[in-house]
Amino acid sequence: MEDIYVIKQQTHLRKRGIMAKVSIIGGGSWGIALAVLLRKNGHEITVWSALETEITMLKENHEHKMLPGVKLSEDTIFTGDEREAAKGKDLLVMAVASSYTRETAHRFSPFVAKGQKVLNVAKGIEEATLMTLSEIIEQEIPQADVAVMSGPSHAEEVGRGLPTTIVVGAKSKAAAEYIQNLFMCETFRVYISPDILGMELGASLKNVVALAAGIADGLGYGDNTKAALITRGITEIARLGTAMGGKFETFCGLTGIGDLIVTCASMHSRNRRAGILIGQGKTYEEAMGEVKMVVEGVYSAKAAMKLAEKYNIQLPIIEKVNEVLFGGKSADVAVKELMLRDKKLEVSDLPWPEE
């Protein structure tokens, strides 16, 4: 049945004139899920990884151990060579963890052609520079046409073909629509947006709030607590994001509140799982070791506080996450301190009726 589906998709795409050569840069679970999706859409797929063991595993099994049952097509190309992965490709999908984005972009820079499209699908902020990942890619590969893709989209569900909705952000509408056409199908709906900054800030900062949600779960708190963290968390994200130039509407959408909900609520979320372990008394290093995947919120937490200081913005939830992760504060004390903060209005600019 899958082969028939692929043939139908290829025919459909050829008629639309958008069959493309795509390289997935990064052989982790998210990159593999997107490789499977794009191949089903009829595109030619190459997967690059810096890890020889990962390339060997993918060649031998056509499956990633983190995504059991999600099979890559037999004609998928696997390589560890940057030139082979970049040359002649219509799109490079940057799917490495945020902490490896700069190094990977630097490695690829000599082989990326002027105007070649690079789509970042990772989430994070570089602590040392406070740059978003697209800014890092643009700095390392200035000749590239850089776009981003974000939204509530666990690899485990995308790989299985469960309905998912996501957003592509780009500097030009034409670039956004081109990428939209490559990914769009009956199980993967793609919107477009010009607000790259807002999308990336929402995607990065929600991981820190998801750690807080997991910590609350680890402490044994309930749905009331989770709802409060999600609601007040998006308030903090939007407060900082709009101060930095992101659009408020973006934080109300899929890459803001949508991504925050799924990351705080799902056990697919590595940030929530790590938070649960921290709430149960483990250090963040122990939690990351047990999750066995990169926990992006740990890397973004310090950057978020530096940005808050730079823009003079209060981020009480994110501040307490930092104190628990890096300051030795116990999680239950951090929650009590949040609850006992000075009394506030929920929305400060709503007028009271005249008495």
Active site residues per annotation? 206
Number of H helices, E strands in the chain: 17, 8
Closest CA to 91 of 35, 27, 22, 160: 22
Structure tokens at 219: 């402490």
Cα-to-chain-centroid distance, residue 132: 12
Distances (CA, A) of 66 to 63, 137, 187, 344, 345: 9, 26, 21, 44, 45
User: For residue 346, what are the contacts with CB-CB under 8 A and spacing of at least 6?
Assistant: none
* Distance, CA of 279 to CA of 213 (rounded, Å): 10
Q: Are 167 and 150 in contact (CB under 8 A)?
A: yes
* Distance, CA of 252 to CA of 249 (rounded, Å): 5
Per DSSP, 152 falls in state: S
Q: Residue 66, Cβ neighbours under 10 Å: how many?
A: 16
Helix axes 296-311, 223-243, angle to 10 degrees: 50
Q: Would you state the torsion angle of the CA atoms of residues 203, 204, 206, 208, taken in this order, to the nearest 10 degrees? A: 170
Q: Are 164 and 158 in contact (CB under 8 A)?
A: yes
Closest CA to 167 of 152, 185, 149: 149
* Distance, CA of 66 to CA of 32 (rounded, Å): 10
Q: Are 30 and 93 in contact (CB under 8 A)?
A: no
User: For residue 8, what are the contacts with CB-CB under 8 A and spacing of at least 6?
Assistant: none
At position 36, the amino acid (one-letter code) is: V
Structure tokens at 63: 């499956």
